[in-house]
Structure 1
């Protein structure tokens, strides 16, 4: 059964993202319906094979917390993806569980250098489709404790 739009959870223009299999939690993400594929700021360290599957090992740096997380994931593809400045870049694409609020699903995520961007993660429309409705006038709608902590009101 397909949910109608008014039954779908609402996300704001930014939300906290959880990637449990990668050990990444509360990653600030910008919702971007203009982007097809979600992307994560990462430095690809190496590609390797395990049990007949292709993997990629990468690091995710959280500069403010001075933390570097090393992650491994099955990589499903290397794709030409158009960046925000219009240039086509070849990027590794992984598929891993993603959780926004109470909704968990498998998502394709490209690994990109987002060091010049304010948000380490961008959530594209393929991750949003048939799961969420976007209200760009609000933030943290799936993370009410942030709104309370920062004094924001819905």
Structure 2
């Protein structure tokens, strides 16, 4: 029998360490295939034959300029059924103590409560989801709230 997967709640604080972003409030959404981050593309860069994207993430009252490997431009269907062409980047994502490389689409999430959404391709074979709780992988939030819901 294999090891037990860690459990995430319906929202968690996550890190994108290579982008210098820490403690991002993220909604866990097993209905979405691809994870997404609130950001807009500034420019495409070719550095030593590698395709990069420079983009801005507006979060926590300030603009963060980031660069990541550009994987693709894909048609991604949003929750309202519209398909949008979005840039997809690949960068390390850390949830609790688990860190892995994730594909993340850049989207306008300014009208959403959470600047990041974690989709099922990032969750699969790594985490179990307990939709009745929050912050299960976020020790600082557990300590602040005094409980795990």
TM-score by length of 2: 0.95
Of the three residues 13, 23, 37, the one matched with 2:34 is 37
Cα distance in 1 between the residues matched to 2:148 and 2:31? 26
Alignment RMSD: 1.3
Structure 1 unpaired stretches of 5+: none
TM-score by length of 1: 0.92
Cα distance in 2 between the residues matched to 1:24 and 1:8? 25
- TM-fit CA distance, 1:19: 0.4
Runs of 4+ with deviation above 2 angstroms: 150-154
SS of alignment partner, residue 136 of structure 1? coil
**Count of residues in Structure 1 that have an aligned counterpart in Structure 2:** 149
Report what 2:2 is aligned to: 3
1:44-103 Cα shifts (integer Å, max 9, x gaps): 1111211111111100111xx421110001101000000111100000000100000000
Alignment of 1:1-154 (within 5 A): 3=2, 7-62=4-59, 65-153=60-148
Cα distance in 2 between the residues matched to 1:105 and 1:114? 23
- TM-fit CA distance, 1:151: 3.6
